[in-house]
Structure 1
């Protein structure tokens, strides 16, 4: 029996992992299954190969992704928590659409730091049919994402950000318009802090000291100078230049204590509105911050023949 989790009501994983169904769709997963102390089927989440195979099975079973893989060393994201962000973004857009969740390829989403896994575009286009543009600074990540798209015949736009100091500059073109942007920013301020975070994770898993992360991750995925606040502050600053090309800008915020400094930064940017959206995932609470420069009477139409 699956363990229930506190995920978004539309999240397909709110009842936990159905290993019988997953193994039926992806028989290779069975070799990685084990029994928990209470007799439930699970996997060893400290085993990178097991986590990758679980993701492959989840994406095939729930999101019709026939092929999925990532190069060694890249972030292998937990699918249920990642797709929760998508569902809450859908609710955010519904607030500007007479409380109706918008669906279809005319809804444009921009994923900053899409990663080698392409997890947000894959789940978002499957759940809501939105058109995604994925951006990354890492050429290896773009190559992996492109391979996933080609194998699955997916029309996801991929763009490489060539300048580390830029987020929106250089990837949002003059004729672009987006309903929403999203980002899971690097949250450590240095490689040293990233390593300390790794040690804490492994200690919590009862594995002692290790330089490995159970979900992997490249340096650009885990840390940047100044950490999360500096990254999102730069995002807010650049978002002002594209204020009329996007309805909602959003970013995950890993630390609750970072919210107040970010809210002050949004105040200085003179946004028309902002929201903090909390997402409960089991015993953990995550959140994202969203802001817009458009007043309600300025916000774009969700109609299929609209510019966006």
Structure 2
């Protein structure tokens, strides 16, 4: 449902929407083609549009304050959809807990996500008492969701990720915690570092803004701006590790994204993802990082935009093509024969007959490892399935001249690249 909605939001039929939600009618005006447009520079019109879309498409009732941010539904939905794709890859468990940092007066992310996913739960924080009070009203107005969203007050001086500390998680979720206890975090931090930056941003716009901004200063300003806020999240996450599966944040500036990728690389965090969310003329970016050994598909972690290629993570899917016409054709059976001869490795046949999963529990394929095994052969070559694999990959024969490997799990990229070099060398 959510993916099709995202497409429909590219061209909203305001006349049809007003028939469903009559309070929208006073804000429409007829255009040259006989259809209807909305006056986006009217703050009441924007609030009514948000209420209409949330009611029609998600069955949500919300109260929106005049002096707080009015969340555009299409933009917020895009972030939820991307998080959904992330969770599908990394958290097969149906009972998902998410953390919304700075939930705002609408609590838009918990309400959207929980209306789409019947098995999702949220912890939602904010430092603003007015926003929390209104968020509580919005949750109460949606009785099917209120048991799955828990609001928590925090302060500007507290750690951003304080709810992920062991004692806090034990109190909130119980002493028997799975790993990770929280599948993901979401955040839409304030863009600006001070009121002067807000003024400069407004003055530097070459045209009038498409829509009015009704946010309070507490929602728009944080010391150092959004980049400093997320950098603090990165610093705190290093101590928390897998308390959260994926730490994520929405960003309003591409410059912030580039700066934060530099921080991740400086900290040695190579398991990260970036994406670009485009809705009409609005562009936003998301950054995510993890201390888990689960590796994301490139379609999720590496955006197609050429402008982002230099800061994208290294690819997790690699291909090797053979250009020698005299070489042996690649076959599925040839892959199996090579894998069978690797100690401390098992393989699984997959539904796709051209694809196989290889699970290695030790690095045994390098020359150094083979020499070590030859000098000191182990008494038992049995595999302990309870031990953690050093690398899990899926290997495919694309055609008789092309081999592909995808990194599925593992902490060390060097091990993955080493295994790929060994395998492609053996097969080609």
TM-score tier by shorter-chain length is 0.7 to 0.9
C-alpha distance in structure 1 between counterparts of 2:233 and 2:87, whole Å: 20
Shift of 1:270: 3.3
Q: Give the 3 Å change call, closer, same or farther, for CA 257–162 of structure 1 in structure 2.
A: closer
- 5+ residue gaps, structure 1: 1-6, 208-212, 299-308
Shift of 1:121: 1.1
C-alpha distance in structure 2 between counterparts of 1:218 and 1:46, whole Å: 17
1:198 correspondence with 2:202: yes
Q: Deviations over 1:185-219 (max 9, x none)?
A: 11111111112223445x62279xxxxx7131011
| 1:1-308 matched pairs, under 5 angstroms | 11=6, 13-65=8-60, 67-96=61-90, 106-129=95-118, 130-153=120-143, 154-155=146-147, 156-170=149-163, 173-175=168-170, 176=173, 177-200=181-204, 204-205=207-208, 214-271=212-269, 273-296=271-294
Shift of 1:267: 2.6
Structure 1 length-normalised TM: 0.82
Q: Deviations over 1:260-293 (max 9, x none)?
A: 3212211343335001112222234321000001
RMSD of the TM alignment (CA)?
2.5
Give yes or no for contact 1:273–1:291 (8 Å, CA) kept in 2.
yes
Q: Give the 3 Å change call, closer, same or farther, for CA 117–85 of structure 1 in structure 2.
A: same
Q: Deviations over 1:223-258 (max 9, x none)?
A: 111112111111111122321211000011222222
Give yes or no for contact 1:190–1:223 (8 Å, CA) kept in 2.
yes
Q: Give the 3 Å change call, closer, same or farther, for CA 170–58 of structure 1 in structure 2.
A: same
Deviates further, 142-151 or 16-25: 16-25
C-alpha distance in structure 1 between counterparts of 2:198 and 2:69, whole Å: 14
C-alpha distance in structure 1 between counterparts of 2:59 and 2:128, whole Å: 26
- Give the number of the structure whose alpha-carbon radius of gyration is greater: 2
Deviates further, 242-251 or 32-41: 32-41
- 5+ residue gaps, structure 2: 174-180, 295-387, 390-428
Q: Give the 3 Å change call, closer, same or farther, for CA 163–259 of structure 1 in structure 2.
A: closer
Corresponding pairs, count? 280
Aligned-partner SS, 2:239: helix
Q: Which has the higher contact order (CA 8 A, sep 6+)?
A: 1
